[in-house]
Amino acid sequence: MAYRNDTDFFRVVYNIFIHTWDLIPVQVNKDGKKKLLEKGRIKISIGVAFEYDYENKWEGTRMHTTLRDFYIKYIMLRKIQVYADKIEYEAHNLQETIKQWLDMQARGNQFADVWEG
């Protein structure tokens, strides 16, 4: 898990899960040189969540809690919705960066199962 405090009220939490299985070593010719790589399957999942009032500044009384909920639902809602699109893009970019760092040669993408069924 990783998090980023964007404001003193608002935090973005990333849950990164990488699972590999069926790994077997294979020898390949890459750029004219024999290289030992691994063949297998990998699943990279990145979940993103927003955490509000992460320092619990608005938890003291029932009035504070009501004001916090009103602030989130009616004042910040549109800003949160717009910001969520940016965070989704960042999460996808993080996934692609991990794949590049691992020097993966993979098939498929995040939309591979959208039209199945």
pLDDT score at 57: 87
Would you list the domain boundaries of the chain?
Answer: 2-101
Q: CA nearest 11: which of 43, 45, 54?
A: 54
pLDDT score at 110: 56
Rounded to whole angstroms, how far apart are CA atoms 105 and 103?
7
* Block mean pLDDT (10 aa), the chain, length 117: 88 91 88 86 87 87 91 87 85 84 66 50
pTM over 0.95? The answer is no
Count of other CB atoms within 10 angstroms of residue 48:
15
pLDDT score at 42: 84
**Cα angle 50-55-61, degrees, rounded to a multiple of 5:** 105
pLDDT score at 30: 77
